[in-house]
Structure 1
């Protein structure tokens, strides 16, 4: 009888602790009286229902996001996997293409993140890629980065060299390789595309960042996961001393398997990194957190739509895109132009 009473009491205590305990908040937020270094954030993305079109969500803490424009497109002409970079002229540039089969990459430009205008069209010559003799005519998810030391933009994308075959659709994805081209103005481009990595495995969704004296390539390992390739379909990071490498072999996975479309932002106090990635196809978004890009990383709890459990949340059904820091003025202008929708939680 006593044992039963003790067990019931222990269950009650554990249940009470579970229901009323408070998880620690994620690092990187500003405290009372402290000024945020990074004032606000824009997430340019597509949705599960309207794949490849442009939508906006915003945040003031990099963790809790709200939809703009009542969940409608913000720019009808855009198609692609949105990726935005700020250039040396303080204008923003965005790359896209209508599909992987589209031979052209379109570059868009804006000064206010509201009105986008076509800046240029780039058609990479995939028949003239050094060291890559038989690429298919496919261009996936072009991404932009402006490298201050060289004064040049680098645009990356993935191109495969094998078709899928019956019973082995992964043959196509495993053959993806990351290509790049350089440009000073995103109107003229330097030579033919080149391969960014010399590794013999698939990579997609690659973007570059320079932090202190190192360059980091954040990527998706596109090999299918097996006992003999456990890192498959995860987000990983490679390092180099220069923009074009050579890049080290990627480190251990930051995400679980079957994650893609990573995007990286600094925290409001500029001391922590938030790395988001999608659990596909359109299931949810994960978040890993570190105080430097060399790790260690931990996975935050969130996107469950339960406020007592979530440490971050995004609107439902958001898909591939990019997150960037913006000013309070830009944040206010976006809200004034498009209006804001509060994220609902259970």
Structure 2
């Protein structure tokens, strides 16, 4: 698509600002080495279910046995673009003081067809930023493929720090016409802050009509295998390439057909979404491959020398947890990072019920997404919740997540209570967050004070749940509950 002169001038101005900031980045002293790594964090999505195309996290101590975090529920939800995200990439700054998640803006579960997604889909990526891996900014969109003529999508982003330029190379797949051929190619921009970026350039273009997607690069310390960087992609096969420079010349090392693995062209076990991981404390790498064709999830192949594809071998004895892991990325964690992540999302919340103080045979339950107190609740799961750290404030506050509608929480809306899916907004988080205090009618029980309306409490009225100020004995009894199994 042709761009106006004004837009071109604006793009040049943005690029100039970016390179000014990049020049400053190059001039900084080299960052100190990170502390030793003690664990692993995987970011992923789970599939095309109602909440599957969001950000999920899993943790591992050995790199092979994984446990779902946050009770297996998403930790971040996209509220922008298509309101869904896939293929998340975890990025750490060289100094280890800033983190980003960059993901595909795509939600097939909304009814989008694959044809529309690849030909008329979003050309933007979704980005979150954090200083500590647990407190994340609101998401924003970056239209990285907007400058590509005829771009139909922007898929499977990844980013790697490039010491030669002092900024990040952000790369992804876009389907667009070029030299008479419309197909997915890998494009890249340079960015220092994941907000401003250079004009997109072709990074990998296979000959003829062969498309390529899902590229991911890993850096090999001490150039084990003879190269500093290795990349895997999906182009019909799973090719492995090597280079000593992120933006330099890459050498083909072959593919994984000798292991009976391909991306379709070679048959056998058809996979996609290659995901690199170095084992902590040793020169051994895992390349995780998503067995999307059979729905069996990720499998690892491992190598102690990436210089030849013949060094890869199948690895057994791995466990991926309950959630299905779809195309993501893995970050090696320091002890401090691991402690923060597990402190925020590692606990498994028990299943509990909220019993009424003045109607002890009745329990808080949802029915058709409304919330009330009832006796003899059926199905029983309608009255079961996981009491998790507050969505708006996790110290001293709680939120109530439905057991049979994961990702849905009790929230007040116009002072009435509903069960609603977390939309990721600050308003939702505040409406779904409460402070447990001594029971207003009996200090041995519990009352729940609203986070954003602290003069109001959760109470029942006519058996329906409301958020009201409490001023009399009846109100105090209605606003008093017991958490029970």
Could you list the per-position Cα deviations for residues 48-77 of structure 1 after superposition, in whole angstroms to 9, with x for gaps in the alignment? 344321111100110101111111111123
Aligned residue number for residue 268 of structure 1: 280
Aligned residue number for residue 229 of structure 2: 215
Q: 1:270-285, aligned counterparts within 5 Å? A: 270-281=282-293, 282-285=295-298
Looking at structure 2, the residues matched to 219 and 207 of structure 1 have their Cα atoms a distance apart, in angstroms, of 7
Aligned residue number for residue 83 of structure 1: 89
Q: Following TM superposition, by how much is the alpha carbon of 1:38 offset from its aligned partner in structure 2, in angstroms?
A: 2.9
Aligned residue number for residue 326 of structure 2: 319
Native 8 Å contact 1:40 1:58 kept in 2 = yes
The question of 1:150 aligning with 2:165 is answered yes
Aligned residue number for residue 292 of structure 1: 305
Q: Flag the 1:331–1:94 CA change in 2: closer, same or farther, 3 A.
A: same
User: SS at the partner of 1:249?
Assistant: strand
Looking at structure 1, the residues matched to 286 and 306 of structure 2 have their Cα atoms a distance apart, in angstroms, of 10
Q: Following TM superposition, by how much is the alpha carbon of 1:37 offset from its aligned partner in structure 2, in angstroms?
A: 4.7
Q: Flag the 1:76–1:126 CA change in 2: closer, same or farther, 3 A.
A: closer
Aligned residue number for residue 167 of structure 1: none
The question of 1:43 aligning with 2:42 is answered yes
Q: 1:197-216, aligned counterparts within 5 Å? A: 197-200=204-207, 201-211=210-220, 212=223, 213-216=227-230
Q: Following TM superposition, by how much is the alpha carbon of 1:126 offset from its aligned partner in structure 2, in angstroms?
A: 4.6
Give ranges in structure 2 of 5+ residues lacking alignment: 1-34, 79-83, 107-116, 263-269, 349-485
User: SS at the partner of 2:135?
Assistant: coil
Could you list the per-position Cα deviations for residues 139-188 of structure 1 after superposition, in whole angstroms to 9, with x for gaps in the alignment? 111111112342110111111236xxxxxxxx98xx21111111122222
Aligned residue number for residue 110 of structure 1: 130
Looking at structure 2, the residues matched to 179 and 120 of structure 1 have their Cα atoms a distance apart, in angstroms, of 20
The question of 1:71 aligning with 2:100 is answered no
Q: 1:53-72, aligned counterparts within 5 Å? A: 53-72=54-73
The question of 1:182 aligning with 2:155 is answered no
Native 8 Å contact 1:276 1:287 kept in 2 = yes
Q: 1:321-336, aligned counterparts within 5 Å? A: 321-336=328-343
Native 8 Å contact 1:141 1:205 kept in 2 = yes
Looking at structure 2, the residues matched to 314 and 40 of structure 1 have their Cα atoms a distance apart, in angstroms, of 15
Looking at structure 1, the residues matched to 140 and 298 of structure 2 have their Cα atoms a distance apart, in angstroms, of 32
Greater share of strand: 2
Q: Flag the 1:127–1:268 CA change in 2: closer, same or farther, 3 A.
A: closer
Native 8 Å contact 2:239 2:252 kept in 1 = no
Q: 1:244-263, aligned counterparts within 5 Å? A: 244-249=247-252, 251-253=254-256, 256-257=261-262, 258-263=270-275
Q: Following TM superposition, by how much is the alpha carbon of 1:238 offset from its aligned partner in structure 2, in angstroms?
A: 1.1
Native 8 Å contact 1:38 1:270 kept in 2 = no
Give ranges in structure 1 of 5+ residues lacking alignment: 1-35, 129-133, 163-170, 222-231, 302-310, 342-346
Could you list the per-position Cα deviations for residues 82-107 of structure 1 after superposition, in whole angstroms to 9, with x for gaps in the alignment? 10110135211111242251122232
Native 8 Å contact 1:120 1:186 kept in 2 = no
Native 8 Å contact 1:38 1:266 kept in 2 = no
Looking at structure 2, the residues matched to 88 and 37 of structure 1 have their Cα atoms a distance apart, in angstroms, of 14
Looking at structure 2, the residues matched to 287 and 340 of structure 1 have their Cα atoms a distance apart, in angstroms, of 27
Native 8 Å contact 2:216 2:276 kept in 1 = no
Corresponding pairs, count: 271
Q: Following TM superposition, by how much is the alpha carbon of 1:253 offset from its aligned partner in structure 2, in angstroms?
A: 1.7
Whose relative contact order is higher, 1 or 2, with alpha carbons under 8 Å and at least 6 apart?
1
Q: Following TM superposition, by how much is the alpha carbon of 1:338 offset from its aligned partner in structure 2, in angstroms?
A: 1.7
Native 8 Å contact 1:67 1:340 kept in 2 = no
Q: Following TM superposition, by how much is the alpha carbon of 1:119 offset from its aligned partner in structure 2, in angstroms?
A: 6.8
Native 8 Å contact 1:106 1:118 kept in 2 = no
Looking at structure 1, the residues matched to 138 and 212 of structure 2 have their Cα atoms a distance apart, in angstroms, of 29
List structure 1 segments (4+ residues) > 6 angstroms apart after TM superposition: none
Looking at structure 2, the residues matched to 176 and 202 of structure 1 have their Cα atoms a distance apart, in angstroms, of 5
Looking at structure 2, the residues matched to 70 and 88 of structure 1 have their Cα atoms a distance apart, in angstroms, of 31
Q: Following TM superposition, by how much is the alpha carbon of 1:242 offset from its aligned partner in structure 2, in angstroms?
A: 2.0
User: SS at the partner of 2:344?
Assistant: helix
Q: Following TM superposition, by how much is the alpha carbon of 1:135 offset from its aligned partner in structure 2, in angstroms?
A: 4.2
Q: Flag the 1:124–1:336 CA change in 2: closer, same or farther, 3 A.
A: closer
